[in-house]
Structure 1
Amino acid sequence: MSEKIILDQQFEYLSQQSQGWPSEVNEFENCMFSNCNFKEADFSTLKFYECRFENCDLSLAKVEQTIFQQVQFEGCKLSGVLFDSCHPFALEISFADSKLDHSSFYALKMSKANFLNCSLRGVDFTGAQLKDARFTGSDLWEAKFDHTLLQKADFSGAIHYQINPEQNQIKGAVFSRDGLEGLLSIYQIKIVS
């Protein structure tokens, strides 16, 4: 099967079912997707290099063996996306002001990943390698960290996280004073101000 590539294009107000969707294409390079509805879309085996998604809905999108390299999501809905099914080679994605509730990054290697001002409620980070990742200003209510590498990760301004320091590697990580309860809750102690 030959590769069909789209370079340097902008797509607006598009869905995978609409006439403007390039259905025969399997690779996108340096493309911009804005205000697109990709809810429950099937992106399996597609390749995205240096692409940007703005204000798009990708909730429950299928990303089986999808390649994401240097891809940015800003102001997007990505709830329920199983990123752990992506192609792991050179995976590099960043998120800002996005909603990723109940998504999964299970066992992924994502050093220096950005999750800036995101809703990460119920997200599974079990076994993920997130060294130098940034969770600044994000809501991590019921996010699961278990045997997760979080060395030098930045949780400043993050809220609602619960991270067991005995089951996760947090050496050099940054936490706000307000968030210390999320590190100490396993010890069932009371913190007063």
Structure 2
Amino acid sequence: METKLYQNRTFDTVDYSDQSLSNVEFVNCEFLNCNFSKSDLSHNDFLDSTFKNCNLSLAVLKNTGLKNIKFIGCKLMGLDFSASNSFLFSMNFEDCLLDYSTFIYKKLKKTNFTDCSLKETDFSNTDLSLAVFKNCDLSGTTFVESILEKTDFRTSRNYAFDPSENKIKGTKVSYIALAGLLEKFDLVIE
């Protein structure tokens, strides 16, 4: 099947919800106020593109290419990013709702999460080295066998991870969060 190419295009207030798109390549495109909720975006490629105020909740991303993508003000609840294509996988998030999403086994080196909600998000076996979580809510987020080296959590809240189960050399945390990092030891910190 031939791949359809969209380049340097703006898509504004388009409703793709509950629809299936396949074999489409979007290069340097901008998506504004679009609804992709529950849509099947499998086998598509997005490159150097921006999503602003879009809803992608529960979209299917099986073998979807996400290369140098910016999500701004988007609702991305329940997305399984771990099913997407790993080749050149790179994204940044600003003011996004990423609750209940999954990034298992993804490389998110130097990824920026700014003013995001990441409640119950799974980062197991994820490379988050040099990532920055700026002013994010990480309640119930899972970090197991993750690479958190030089990751910056200082301005975020509600994060907890076991230092013995993750690589944490140079990880930046606030002193207030130390209790969450020592949770498994059942210490009384005053």
Shorter-chain TM-score range: over 0.9
Summarize the Cα distance change of 1:83–1:24 in structure 2 as closer, same or farther, 3 Å threshold. closer
DSSP-derived class of the 1:182 partner: helix
| C-alpha RMSD over aligned residues | 1.8
Contact kept? 1:6, 1:25, Cα under 8 Å: no
Aligned counterpart for 2:159 among listed residues 158, 161, 171: 161
Indicate the SS of the match to 2:165.
Answer: coil
Gapped regions of structure 1 (runs ≥ 5):
none
What's the TM-score once normalised by structure 2's chain length? 0.95
Structure 1 runs (4+) deviating above 4 angstroms are none
Match of 1:9 in 2: 9
Corresponding residue for residue 26 of structure 2: 28
Instruction: Pick closer, same or farther for the CA change 1:24–1:132 going to 2, 3 Å.
Output: closer
- Residue 159 of structure 2 aligns with an amino acid whose one-letter code is Y
| Structure 1 residues 1-193: aligned runs within 5 Å | 1-16=1-16, 26-192=24-190
The runs of 5 or more residues in structure 2 that have no matched partner are none
Normalising to structure 1: TM-score of the pair?
A: 0.93
Partners of 2:185 and 2:68 in 1: how far apart? 39
Query: Alignment partner of 1:33: what SS?
Result: strand
What is the deviation of 1:25? 6.2
The aligned amino acid for 2:71 is: F
- The residue type paired with residue 2 of structure 1 is E
CA distance in structure 2 between the partners assigned to 1:82 and 1:168 by the alignment: 21
What's the CA shift string for 1:108-160, capped at 9, x where partnerless?
Answer: 11111111111000001011111111111111101011000000001011111
